[in-house]
Amino acid sequence: MTPDRIAAAFDRARRDGRAAFIPFLTAGDPSPQATVDLAVALDRAGADVLELGVPFSDPIADGPVLQRSAARALARGTTLSDVWRIAARIRRKTSLGLVLFSYLNPLLRGGLARNAEKARKAGFDAVLVTDLPPEEGADVERLFRRAGLKTVFLVSPTSPPSRMDRAARLSTAFLYVVTRTGTTGVRDSLPADLGATISRARRAARRTRRVRAPGASLPIAVGFGISSPAATRSAATLADGVVVGSALVAAAERAGAGAVGAVEKLARSLARACRRSGRPPGRRVAR
């Protein structure tokens, strides 16, 4: 039976008294080998789950940092087949849960069902389709589930209860709360209403619990704009997982040849900030 690495990651984080640390990388930026090296560094630094992004030419949800990252990967000729190869190497070298982070268009080319199978064989555990609204996601979630993949859907501060419920019902890995409307990117602070948004997401998860395994709770992760240990620490008191992308990609971009060291240093500080108490982290067991 395939291990549920994402559920195990959230369980381990909960036992350690912390939020799960979920970094993001763009596959192929600055190169396939560098992506693998950065993933290994994130694993060493204490990451629990990695979102691996498929570079796309029209990343409407992304800010300038991730747009540049996708452009660099595409300029190097990164394809979806390259993403599968990169993921397979990360799977062999790390114990990270792997989430495929993609827009819908790249997955439609070649067929959703075929790409779902390829994603699972490459070692992905779940899929987050950024521009797939939950109102149109039921058939896609079913297709991914048949391939053995869990799903993640996005909600935001402006999501009405009906959308929160649909997203929670279709999310089988975790529910992703976007901190604010707009695109990804480094921000100086978290919005004042983030706690209220996460509370609404938790209520939606409870309302839809009956469609999951008895007693199972749906983790809530928060992301978009979280870039510093201070912001991470604040988010970790509210959510079960904290997603950081642009800050790590920007650190790699600035460091050039020293990207692995720079990203690992920043990631260690972010992983420490996910702890809610002085309890030391539990021992990680390779899976």
Give catalytic residue positions: 51, 62
Residues 6+ apart with CB under 8 A from 76: 28, 29, 30, 31
C-alpha neighbours within 13 Å on the C-beta side of residue 46: 22
Q: How far apart are CA 163 and CA 172, in angstroms?
A: 16
Instruction: Copy the structure tokens of residue 48.
Output: 């629990």
Spacing of C-alpha 267 from chain mean position: 14
Instruction: Copy the structure tokens of residue 37.
Output: 């090296």
Helices 246-255, 32-45: crossing angle, 10 deg rounding: 120
Residues 6+ apart with CB under 8 A from 267: 21, 23, 41, 42, 45, 46, 47, 248
Three-state DSSP state, 223: strand
32 preceded by a cis bond (ω within 30 of 0): no
Q: How far apart are CA 153 and CA 129, in angstroms?
A: 7
Q: Count of CB atoms within 10 A of residue 213's CB? A: 8
Distance separating the N- and C-terminal Cα atoms of the chain: 12
